[in-house]
Amino acid sequence: MQITFKLYATLVKYLPPGTVGHAVVMDVEDTVTVQALINQYQISDKQAYLVMLNGVYIAPESRAEKVLQENDVLAVWPKVAGG
């Protein structure tokens, strides 16, 4: 099945080489969880500060259980500071 995986700010470097922008459309197994995909890209729990699935926040304790569905959009942000 296909999903869209988006990484923002300093996490963009974890996307596959040749990715344009901050998102990649990819094929995943129909049993993959939010946490499994984050782990696959070697993003630590500390780095995955804000995780949203289709615009809905996924708490750290729910990420290992939440299975992705066809056409989902998973977006991950690091902790950011601004002024």
For 15-71, write each residue's pLDDT tens digit. Answer: 988 888 999 999 999 999 999 999 999 999 999 999 999 999 999 999 999 999 999
Handedness of CA 44, 48, 54, 60 (dihedral sign): positive
If you search the block for the tokens 């990819």, which residue do you land on? 26
Domain at 2-77, CATH from 3.40.50.720, 3.10.20.30, 3.50.50.60, 1.10.287.3510 = 3.10.20.30
pLDDT at 82: 65
pLDDT at 17: 87
Minimal CA–CA distance to 37: which of 9, 77, 81, 3?
3
Tokens of 66: 């939440």
Tokens of 22: 């901050």
pTM: 0.93
pLDDT at 6: 97
Please state, as a whole number, how many other Cβ atoms lie within 10 Å of the Cβ of residue 51.
22
pLDDT at 81: 66
Minimal CA–CA distance to 15: which of 34, 51, 41?
41
